[in-house]
Amino acid sequence: MRVSVIGCGYLGAVHAAAMAELGHEVVGIDIDERKIARLAVGDPPFFEPGLPEILRSALGSGRLRFSSDPADAAGAEVHFLAVGTPQAAGGHAADLRFVDAAFDALLPHLAPGAVVAGKSTVPVGTAERLADRLAEVAPHATLAWNPEFLREGFAVKDTVQPDRLVYGVRSPEASDVLDRVYASAIEAGTPRIVTDFATAELVKVAANAFLATKISFINAMAEIAETVGADVTQLADAIGHDTRIGRRFLNAGVGFGGGCLPKDIRAFTARAEELGRGESVAFLKEVDAINLRRRHRVVELAREILGGDRRTVFGRKVAVLGVTFKPDSDDVRDSPALDVAVQLKGLGADVVATDPEGIENARARHPQLHYVADPREALRGAELVILVTEWADYRVLDPNEVGDLVASRAVIDGRNVLDPSAWRAAGWRYHALGRG
């Protein structure tokens, strides 16, 4: 099938390459010419495991090309809208300017029978508004909403073998077209839910709201555990054995970040308030507040370890391990790790941050921080080590080897991934979130 993908960021670039790998003829469109130039030569502008391989293979097959001109989308049977929907400046609602601009630019290029399939995460009601506009301007085309559930770090697998497919449609024809796009996943048994626009839009934000709630739930337990000397990781293991609860997404620590969970729960709250249903999701404000408190807790703990008051933090070397919002991604959007580093720097600490993939993005946002690529350089002479992103390399650090580099053996395990007994046995003051 001929497919276009409008917006080639973390979602769209993977979607475009994966669709081509599945055998479709794909054009990826983005207004960012630098991004397009890199994608066109098989050089992804961001880090995502497996993407370079499928990108190069798809480009080599001749089934994938990139362009910054929306006219190059003409002739496609399906146009996936994958542009950003960030938090609007000065508010909590989603900024839909990119969706509207991309949609408007596409309108003149829609072939008869084309399906415009929205993948971006949008406030409920957006699809209906766009469908009404389509009916006016290009009645020969159809709108569908096909939300995306991929996780960064697993984006390729999640695109090729998703847990489920959701189509918000008004006609069986649109659903049939999407079935042809996803034929291989459907044949492999991927469940598919065909529904109306509003349900499809809500499924996406409900899924992210649930995941965020699960994380904040365990972090709320961590707060209580800290007060009474209990261990939240054992608590999570114990409640997680109940299959109704499940152990996944119960990792307590510095909390959730990224380009989606935080902005999606805020946008959902803002939209519910607009609809007069603010009280139905008022708990999401608490989910957000618990999450942000965890970052402050790490900073507070760092202060306590370094001696108590603001003056004692000043000029002290702190090694921050990780700046991305999670491992296996270079994404620093709303990253708890970077937030902790920035807050400590603001208190006057000599923060040295390191990360395997995120330094370039972090530096672009926070040039005031000192970044080093080699973790040993960050650790050398540090009076406190804070692990805030659980990259595989940091999980396996040897407490004795690290102990030889630092000035003082004090560590905050902001992700509960180190073995406390091994670190304590090596003479470290080991501190974690939610562990007594």
Ligand X SMILES: O=C(O)[C@H]1O[C@H](OP(=O)(O)OP(=O)(O)OC[C@H]2O[C@@H](n3ccc(=O)[nH]c3=O)[C@H](O)[C@@H]2O)[C@H](O)[C@@H](O)[C@@H]1O
Query: Taking CB within 5 to 8 Å according to partner kind, which of ligand NAI, ligand X, none is near residue 375?
Result: none
Backbone angles phi, psi at 112, to 5 degrees: -55, 130
**CB burial readout 194-211, b (16+ within 10 A) else e:** bbebeebbbbbbebbbeb
- Out of 3, 39, 215, 270, name the contact with ligand X by CB under 6 A: 215
Rounded to whole angstroms, how far apart are CA atoms 149 and 11? 10
**Residue 146 interacts with ligand NAI (CB under 6 A): yes or no:** no
Q: Which does 423 bind (CB under 5 to 8 A by kind): ligand X, ligand NAI, none?
A: none
Q: Which of residues 85-124 bind ligand X (CB under 6 A)?
A: 121
Q: CA-CA distance, 92 to 86, in Å (whole number)?
A: 9
Among 118, 123, 168, 259, binds ligand NAI (CB under 6 A): 259
8 is catalytic: no
Among 9, 118, 255, 399, binds ligand X (CB under 6 A): 255
CA distance 189 to 178: 15
Among 200, 215, 218, 260, binds ligand NAI (CB under 6 A): 260
Q: For residues 380 and 231, give the distance between their C-alpha atoms in angstroms, rounded to a whole number.
A: 31
Q: Which is nearer to ligand X, 70 or 257 (CB)?
A: 257
Residues that bind ligand X (rule: CB under 6 A) add up to a total of 21
* 252 SS3 class: coil
**Alpha helix positions (H), 230-358:** 232-240, 261-274, 283-306, 310-313, 336-346
Assess 325 for contact with ligand X (CB under 6 A): yes
CA distance 169 to 248: 31
Nearer to ligand NAI, 82 or 323 (CB): 82
Residue 404 CB, nearest distance to ligand X (Å)? 29
**Shortest CB 177 distance to ligand X, Å:** 23
Least distance in angstroms from the C-beta of 91 to ligand NAI:
16
- Contact segment (CB under 6 A) with ligand NAI among 31-39, 174-182, 245-253, 392-400 equals 31-39
The footprint of ligand X on residues 135-154 (CB under 6 A) is: 148-152
What Å distances lie between residue 271 and 80, 123, 145, 288, 309, CA to CA?
Answer: 24, 6, 18, 16, 41
Q: Quick one: which segment of 30-38, 59-67, 247-255, 305-313 binds ligand X (CB under 6 A)?
A: 247-255
Minimum CB–partner distance for residue 326 and ligand X (Å) = 4
Q: Could you tell me what percentage of the chain is helix, strand and coil, using 3-state DSSP and rounding each to the nearest 5?
A: 45, 15, 40
Minimal distance in Å, beta carbon 149 to ligand X?
4
User: Directed axis angle between helix 126-137 and helix 197-228, to 10°?
Assistant: 160
Strand partners, 65: 27
**Which amino acid, 221?**
M
Residue 326 contacts which entry, ligand X, ligand NAI, none (Cβ below 5-8 A, type-dependent): ligand X
Write out the DSSP string of 176-218: HHHHHHTHHHHHTT--EEEE-HHHHHHHHHHHHHHHHHHHHHH
Query: Measuring CA to CA, which residue among 334, 386, 379, 382 is closest to residue 358?
Result: 334
Catalytic: which of 260, 290, 313, 379? Answer: 260
Residue nearer to ligand NAI on the CB measure, 11 or 138: 11
Q: Determine which residue in the list 148, 201, 390, 413 makes contact with ligand NAI, applying CB under 6 A.
A: 148
Residues of the shown chain interacting with ligand NAI in the complex, contacts defined by CB under 6 A? 6-12, 29-32, 35, 82-85, 98, 101-102, 105, 120-121, 148, 150, 152, 259-260
Task: List active site positions.
Answer: 260
Q: List residues binding ligand X (CB under 6 A).
A: 121, 148-152, 208, 211, 215, 249-251, 253, 255-258, 260-261, 325-326
